[in-house]
């Protein structure tokens, strides 16, 4: 009764868990909509928009209010020279016990080239944020395709091990019957039983690897770990494998190259901004205020004296202790380094492309060869198994055929995974991974 209640409880728990069944394309679409990396990149894009407004704000009117209350505990004494009020110098104290000053000032920048450079820098900053969004999408597509292929590989290994295990499950009872009749020795049954248990252990490991790969896939595409996820696509045969896109390699197609270009432009603008810090700035202002004075705090507000003024302000940098010239030198060196790094990156991008292209060509041949080897190994094992049951083949022949089958199976799974990884590496190296994902 207790076991029945436990089984019912497990069924209720599983029924309440959300289940997902995804093709590779559906998994990518789900990741693009729910992946954490995409959300972070979009937030950075929104942050870049706010930085544009921040840069523009420097050329918009600046309005500030000020209020100040002074309690002159001991007013300053001023000495009037002799001859003003008397023949002797006369000490006097000006002002009152309390004084209040309130004002509002509006200031408008008329000329400031460094602010204009800041506005110019906001445009490549926005472009870099857009590129980061596409890079996040490309990274998600890459990681999703790779994790999906790993899960497919382990799923296929589980399926093949199940088939192999089923064959031994049929063989063990036959051997026991033969042992009872004295046709085979006990050691033959023990050897087969050991092999069957090894296969069962390998199946447990393959299932654990599959569960881990699915969990990794769920994390990438934004599916809660506690929810079920099933793969609806199996590994393709050699004849059904996807081929790379026909787009030739060009650095200009790469998001990383575009990002490098914007980074160099941003650094160039920074160098101009450091140089333009030597130029004068001009601004206009208007001020409106009121003052109250008196020896009693309450009575001082009975009479307010207003005032106003307008003017222009010119600031001419003359000497900054070599600070600006040092900043210019640092910015110029940084620009030179970025240009040199960009040239080296182009070489690295082409090397990645050639490497992926070479690995894909090699994996195409390997997949076809391993698939044919697996087919032959399965046929050899099935024939040897039948012959052993008929008594025309030895147990050693059967175990050797089983070993060859396991080797062929592992080689086939690894070569398929290597081929998928080489394919997405090639598309990424060409800068066409996002477009390739749309064809899945």
Contact of 158 with 203, CB cutoff 8 Å: yes
- Predicted local distance difference test score (pLDDT) of residue 262: 93
- Same domain for 284 and 359, yes or no, is no
Mean pLDDT of the region 246-256:
90
| Domain-embedded: residue 349 | yes
10 Å CB burial of residue 162 (0-12, 13-18, 19+) is: middle
| 167 and 65 fall within a common domain | no
User: Which one has a higher pLDDT value, 286 or 300?
Assistant: 286
Task: Give the H or E element holding residue 310.
Answer: strand 305-315
What per-residue confidence (pLDDT) applies to 426?
A: 94
Q: Is residue 8 predicted with pLDDT exceeding 60? A: no
User: Is residue 223 situated within a structural domain?
Assistant: yes
Q: Would you say residue 79 lies in a domain?
A: no
Q: C-alpha angle with apex 291: 286 to 294, nearest 5 degrees?
A: 170
Is the residue at 415 inside a domain?
yes
Q: Are 36 and 100 contained in the same domain?
A: no
Asked if residue 288 and residue 253 are part of one domain, the reply reads no
- In the structure, what pLDDT confidence band is assigned to residue 13 with cuts at 50, 70 and 90? very low
Cβ 147 vs Cβ 421: under 8 Å? no
> Residue 292: which CATH number?
2.20.200.10
So what's the pLDDT on residue 301?
A: 80
**Does the pLDDT value for residue 78 go beyond 50?**
yes
Q: Is residue 81 one of the residues assigned to a domain? A: no
Pick the residue with more confidence: 207 or 388? 207
Query: 257 with 130, same domain?
Result: yes
- Record the pTM: 0.81
Q: pLDDT: is 122 or 321 the higher one?
A: 122
99 DSSP β-pair partners? 70, 293
Based on the fold, state whether residues 154 and 105 are members of the same structural domain. no
Can you give the CATH number for the domain in which 392 is found? 1.20.1600.10
pLDDT, averaged across the chain: 87
287 neighbors 62 (Cβ within 8 angstroms)? no
Percent of the chain with pLDDT over 90: 49
pLDDT on residue 25: 92
Q: How many domains does the chain contain in total?
A: 2
Beta strand pairing call for 62-71 and 19-22: unpaired
Task: Indicate whether 161 and 297 sit together in one domain.
Answer: no
CA dihedral sign, ordered 375, 381, 382, 383: positive
Per-residue pLDDT, 120 = 87
- 392 and 408 belong to one structural domain: yes
Answer whether 260's CB lies under 8 Å from 342's CB: yes
Q: 292, 316, 340: which is the final residue of a domain?
A: 316
pLDDT score for 192: 82
- Do residues 249 and 202 both lie within one domain? yes
Both 126 and 250 in a single domain?
Answer: yes
Parent domain of 271: 26-59+112-279+323-437
pLDDT of 302 above 70: yes
Residue 278 pLDDT more than 60?
A: yes
16-25, 80-89, 113-122, 135-144: lowest mean pLDDT where?
Answer: 80-89
12 has a pLDDT exceeding 60? no
Alpha-carbon gap, residue 420 to 404, rounded angstroms? 24
Q: Are residues 374 and 424 in the same domain?
A: yes
Same domain, 194 and 305: no
Q: What is the mean pLDDT of residues 375-402?
A: 86
Q: What pLDDT is attached to residue 10? A: 43
- The pLDDT of 330-345, averaged and rounded, is 94
pLDDT (average), residues 393-404:
86
Quick one: tokens of 323?
């600070």
User: Of the candidates 374, 121, 141, 392, which has an alpha carbon nearest to the alpha carbon of residue 271?
Assistant: 121
Q: Which residues lie below 8 Å from residue 163, measured CB to CB, with a gap of 6+?
A: none
Instruction: Report the pLDDT averaged over residues 200-220.
Output: 94
């Amino acid at each position: 009764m207790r076991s029945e209640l436990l089984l019912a409880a497990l069924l209720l728990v599983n029924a309440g868990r959300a289940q997902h069944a995804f093709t590779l394309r559906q998994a990518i679409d789900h990741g693009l909509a729910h992946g954490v990396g995409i959300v972070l990149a979009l937030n950075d894009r929104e942050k870049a928009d706010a930085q544009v407004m921040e840069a523009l704000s420097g050329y918009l009117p600046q309005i500030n209010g000020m209020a100040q209350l002074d309690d002159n505990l001991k007013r300053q004494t001023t000495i009037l020279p002799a001859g003003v009020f008397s023949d002797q110098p006369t000490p006097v104290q000006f002002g009152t016990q309390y004084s209040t000053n309130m004002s509002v000032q509006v200031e408008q920048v008329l000329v400031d080239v460094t602010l204009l450079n800041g506005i110019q820098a906001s445009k490549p900053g926005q472009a870099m944020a857009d590129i980061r969004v596409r890079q996040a999408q490309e990274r998600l597509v890459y990681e999703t395709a790779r994790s999906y292929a790993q899960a497919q590989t382990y799923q296929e290994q589980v399926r093949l091990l199940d088939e192999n295990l089923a064959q031994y499950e049929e063989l063990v009872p036959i051997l026991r019957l033969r042992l009872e009749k004295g046709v085979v020795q006990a050691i033959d049954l023990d050897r087969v039983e050991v092999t069957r248990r090894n296969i069962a252990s390998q199946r447990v490991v393959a299932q654990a690897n599959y569960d881990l790969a699915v969990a990794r896939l769920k994390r990438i595409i934004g599916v809660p770990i506690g929810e079920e996820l099933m793969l609806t696509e199996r590994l393709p045969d050699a004849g059904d494998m996807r081929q790379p896109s026909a787009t030739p390699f060009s650095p200009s197609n790469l998001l990383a190259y575009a990002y490098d270009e914007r980074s160099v432009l941003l650094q160039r603008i920074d160098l101009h901004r450091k140089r333009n810090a030597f130029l004068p700035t001009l601004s206009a202002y208007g001020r409106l205020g009121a003052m109250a004075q008196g020896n009693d705090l309450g009575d001082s507000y009975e009479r307010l004296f207003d005032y106003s003024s307008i003017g222009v302000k010119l600031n001419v940098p003359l000497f900054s202790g070599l600070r600006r010239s040092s900043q210019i030198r640092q910015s110029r060196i940084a620009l030179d380094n970025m240009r040199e790094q960009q040239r080296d990156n182009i070489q690295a991008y082409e090397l990645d492309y050639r490497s992926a292209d070479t690995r894909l060509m090699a994996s195409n041949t390997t997949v076809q060869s391993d698939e044919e080897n697996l087919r032959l190994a399965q046929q050899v094992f099935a024939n040897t198994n039948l012959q052993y049951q008929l008594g025309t083949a030895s147990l050693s022949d059967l175990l050797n055929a089983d070993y060859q089958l396991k080797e062929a199976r592992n080689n086939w799974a690894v070569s398929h995974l290597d081929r998928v990884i080489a394919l997405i590496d090639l598309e990424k190296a060409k800068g066409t991974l996002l477009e390739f994902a749309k064809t899945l």
